[in-house]
């Protein structure tokens, strides 16, 4: 009987210990690519992010069609001709970090997320720098990195014999909440 009580106590204790998972359900993502006639720029507040502190993993996902442009025609061309959002509706990043992170303690933590970025049906290894700022219980996630459109088979338009929008700068931020 004592063995059964110990086993029951152990199982209940084990189930109450869960991974520290933090999520951002309205993460902001902005991308920018300079071009001679009109810069290519869009924003979205529809990305989601998940940070698993125990596994040292980060996941970010966004629906491509959630990006908003200043000009409707640019948004249409982006979705239909270049990124093909009906065929490739999501972009994502999934990576791991090695650095020590204590989300219960105020501080600034710089992480190097090693993982895979997936867009336009192409997945490539990518290291993404990330800053986590913890202040008064608030956890802010920020990142900024660049990709080349040709690496993801995204055809950039030719204007006056020059490819447009080859290098794309992506920055993102959001507030992570304990799940």
Give this prediction's pTM: 0.83
C-beta atoms surrounding 67 within 10 Å: 22
Measure Cα distances from 139 to 2, 11, 23, 90, 129 in Å.
44, 32, 10, 25, 16
**Residue ranges of domains in the chain, CATH in brackets:** 19-178 (2.40.128.110)
Q: Would you state the pLDDT for residue 120?
A: 96
Q: Would you state the pLDDT for residue 160?
A: 43
Per-block mean pLDDT, blocks of 10 residues, the chain (179 long): 47 53 95 86 97 96 96 92 94 97 95 97 97 94 94 74 71 94
Q: Would you state the pLDDT for residue 84?
A: 94
CA distance 112 to 96: 8
Residues 47, 62 contacting (CB under 8 angstroms)? yes
pLDDT tens per residue across span 143-173:
999 999 989 998 866 654 455 558 999 999 9
CA distance 8 to 23: 32
Residues 96, 128 contacting (CB under 8 angstroms)? no
Q: Which regions of 136-179 does DSSP assign to beta strands (E)? A: 138-148, 158-159, 162-163, 167-178
């Amino acid at each position: 009987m004592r063995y059964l009580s110990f086993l029951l106590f152990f199982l209940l204790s084990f189930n109450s210990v869960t991974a520290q998972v933090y999520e951002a359900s309205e993460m902001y993502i902005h991308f920018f690519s300079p071009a001679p006639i009109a810069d290519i720029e869009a924003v979205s507040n529809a990305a989601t992010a998940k940070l698993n502190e125990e596994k040292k993993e980060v996941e970010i996902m966004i629906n491509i069609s959630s990006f908003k442009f200043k000009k409707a025609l640019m948004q249409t061309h982006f979705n239909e001709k270049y990124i093909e959002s009906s065929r490739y509706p999501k972009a994502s990043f999934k990576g791991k970090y090695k650095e020590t992170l204590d989300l219960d303690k105020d501080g600034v933590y710089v992480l190097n997320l090693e993982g895979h970025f997936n867009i336009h049906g192409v997945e490539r290894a990518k290291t993404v720098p990330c800053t986590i700022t913890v202040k008064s219980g608030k956890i802010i996630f920020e990142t900024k990195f660049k990709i080349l459109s040709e690496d993801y088979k995204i055809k950039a338009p030719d204007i006056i014999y020059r490819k447009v929008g080859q290098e794309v700068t992506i920055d993102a931020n959001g507030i992570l909440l304990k799940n």
